Every structure is written in structure tokens, then in C-alpha cells.
């Protein structure tokens, strides 16, 4: 007969194993919801599930797992504890994941009330820095840095031109397939966030860059991915970081050293150019596929020429603080 202490340990191990499997089951269902109902990308789903798994383990670590017993105070205590050791951006990401999880629980009628309403907003301090972007001369220098006599150069030139002309995200470049281009109508379908499909015009020079890549840069392979690796086994480029590396390498070749060096640099560049050409913030937001105008508003700070038009001249003889 086992000693009482070993019986207690066995019971605890069984309880912990059951609790872990229950948490995993909820996280798996949540992941499926994010994929099928929300259409989120794998990287976004992974981030949400990571935070939810961490939250559930933290809340139910010392007690029995009952999903409908989560209280608003549990949520507040967890957020306070988490934020003490993390910066505001990490805390905002975690809070966003929890809101999504509690909406999921409510939609599926797993809990009675939507606990997302009890999650406090995390203050967001907008940076005073201007969005990093390239001038027209710098962009031309960047594009010319590609050696179009090589397969890699032809591919990278087409990617850089796509980023700078359409303002797409690196993940949207990755998801482009051979079937997404309608050559007859000169259109290109972009698979955006949330399973959105956005139709862009295929500009002539971008279309010519794509044709040059298909003829001289893209190897024969089975994958339908448009942009593929240049060495065997040939497969579609994987992960947004691969696009970021292409931009970074081009910047280095061109002798350019902006503070931000990823693919978003060219997205910011297009937005800035559109504003300076007279486009409204709403129009820029539509091109960039922003869901909220607040996201686009950061670009208003770089439109110096139009800002000068609304500056009123200081009255002659006037002093700061008024005249006597």
C-alpha cells in the first residue's frame, strides 16, 4: 500500500495533467475560431494563443480549472502582474489577445457575459518621430541597386517595386500566387489581413518586372507561390522576415541607412508620396487597407508643404503672450 504522501503526489500529478489538457483543448478551439471565423494569419494566431495559454495557466495554477469561474478581478490582477515586468507594447498585445479570447467564449456561449468589457485599455503614447520614409531619389537608388542580370536581382527588383508601388505588407508579398494576377485585365489580387482580398491595378512597369522575373528569375517548380527561393529545393519564400532581409540588403547596397530598415519602410514611403501629391488621408488609408483612419493619421505629420498652407502669419509687433 502506498504511503499517503505518494498518493497525494499521484493525485496532484493527475489533476495537473487533466488541467493542462483542458487548457490545451480551449486554446485549440480558440485557434480554430481565429483561423476559420476570423481568417487570421498563423503568426497572429500563434501570438493570441500564446498569451491565452499563459493567462489560463496563471489564473488556474493553484485552483481547479473552471472556465466559467473566471472573474473580472482575475483579469485585472493578471494584467497588473504582467505589466510590471513588460513594456506597454507587450502589455497591449497581451490585452488584445485576451479580449479576442473572451469574445470567442461569449460567441460560443461558453460563458454568460462578455468579460472583454472588463479589460482596461492600455494607454498608447504616440511617437513624436516622423514615420521613416525614403525620398524619390533614395527610392530610385534602392531599386537600381538590384543586379537585374541575375535571378536574385530580377526577383528582388520585382519585390521592391511591388512594395513601393502598392504599399503592401511583407506577408501579402509572401502570399501572392501565380493565380492572383489577371494579365488580361491588368489587375493583381492581394490577400490582405483577415482574409480580405484587395484588387490593385497592375502598373505597366510592375507588370514588366513580373514578366522579367517569370522569364529570367523564377525557376521551374511545383509551387504556385509567385516568389520562390533561388536554390533547390525551390519553394515559396517563408515568413515576412525574408522580405525584410531583401529590403535590408538592398538598402546596404544602395548605401542608405534609415533608422527603420524593414519592408514597412517602403509602405511608409508610398503613403508619404501620395499625401504630397494631394491624396487625402482617407484615400491613403484605402490604398494601405487600413481599418481605422487613426492608423493613417500618423502620415499627416510628414506633409510639410500642405501644413504650411494652414499656418497663419504672426502679427507684426506682436509678442508672445499677447500685446499690451
Instruction: Enumerate the active-site residues.
Output: 169, 193, 264, 267, 290, 299
Element (H, E) at 20: helix 4-36
Q: Where are the beta strands (DSSP E) in the chain?
A: 181-182, 187-191, 197-201
Query: Do residues 191 and 172 make contact, with C-beta atoms less than 8 angstroms apart?
Result: yes
Give strand pairing partners of 177: 225
Query: Do residues 241 and 43 make contact, with C-beta atoms less than 8 angstroms apart?
Result: no
d(CA 210, CA 82): 47
Q: What share of the chain is helix, strand, coil (3-state, %, to 5)?
A: 60, 5, 35
The number of residues in the chain equals 324
Alpha-carbon distances, residue 233 vs 54, 159, 219, 221, 236 (angstroms)? 37, 21, 10, 9, 10
Give me 315's grid cell. 502679427
Q: Let me know how many helices (H) and strands (E) the chain has, helices first.
A: 13, 3
Residue recorded with cell 507561390: 225
d(CA 287, CA 276): 15
Nearest to 56 by CA among 75, 83, 38: 75
Query: Do residues 142 and 256 make contact, with C-beta atoms less than 8 angstroms apart?
Result: yes
Query: Do residues 27 and 52 make contact, with C-beta atoms less than 8 angstroms apart?
Result: yes
Amino acid at each position: 500500500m502506498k504511503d499517503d504522501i505518494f498518493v497525494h503526489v499521484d493525485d496532484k500529478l493527475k489533476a495537473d495533467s487533466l488541467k493542462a489538457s483542458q487548457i490545451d483543448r480551449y486554446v485549440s478551439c480558440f485557434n480554430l475560431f481565429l483561423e476559420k471565423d476570423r481568417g487570421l494569419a498563423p503568426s497572429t494566431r500563434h501570438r493570441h494563443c500564446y498569451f491565452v495559454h499563459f493567462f489560463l495557466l496563471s489564473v488556474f495554477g493553484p485552483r481547479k480549472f473552471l472556465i466559467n469561474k473566471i472573474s473580472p478581478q482575475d483579469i485585472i490582477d493578471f494584467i497588473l502582474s504582467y505589466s510590471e515586468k513588460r513594456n506597454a507594447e507587450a502589455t497591449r498585445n497581451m490585452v488584445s489577445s485576451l479580449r479576442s479570447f473572451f469574445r470567442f467564449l461569449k460567441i460560443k456561449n461558453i460563458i454568460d457575459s462578455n468579460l472583454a468589457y472588463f479589460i482596461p485599455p492600455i494607454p498608447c503614447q504616440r511617437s513624436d518621430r516622423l514615420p521613416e520614409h525614403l525620398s524619390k531619389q533614395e527610392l530610385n537608388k534602392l531599386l537600381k541597386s538590384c543586379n537585374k542580370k541575375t535571378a536574385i536581382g530580377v526577383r528582388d527588383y520585382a519585390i521592391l517595386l511591388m512594395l513601393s508601388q502598392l504599399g503592401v505588407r511583407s506577408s501579402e508579398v509572401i502570399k501572392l500566387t501565380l493565380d492572383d494576377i489577371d494579365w488580361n485585365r491588368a489587375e493583381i489580387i492581394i490577400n490582405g489581413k483577415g482574409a480580405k482580398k484587395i484588387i490593385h491595378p497592375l502598373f505597366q512597369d510592375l507588370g514588366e518586372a513580373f514578366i522579367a522575373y517569370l522569364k529570367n528569375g523564377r525557376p521551374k517548380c511545383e509551387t504556385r507561390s509567385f516568389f520562390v527561393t533561388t536554390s533547390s529545393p525551390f519553394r515559396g519564400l517563408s515568413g515576412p522576415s525574408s522580405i525584410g532581409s531583401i529590403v535590408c540588403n538592398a538598402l546596404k547596397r544602395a548605401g542608405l541607412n534609415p533608422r527603420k530598415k524593414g519592408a514597412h519602410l517602403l509602405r511608409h514611403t508610398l503613403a508619404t508620396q501620395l499625401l504630397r501629391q494631394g491624396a487625402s488621408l482617407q484615400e491613403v488609408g484605402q490604398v494601405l487597407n487600413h481599418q481605422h483612419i487613426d492608423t493613417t493619421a500618423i502620415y499627416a505629420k510628414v506633409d510639410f508643404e500642405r501644413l504650411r498652407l494652414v499656418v497663419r502669419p504672426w502679427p507684426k509687433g506682436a509678442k508672445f503672450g499677447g500685446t499690451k
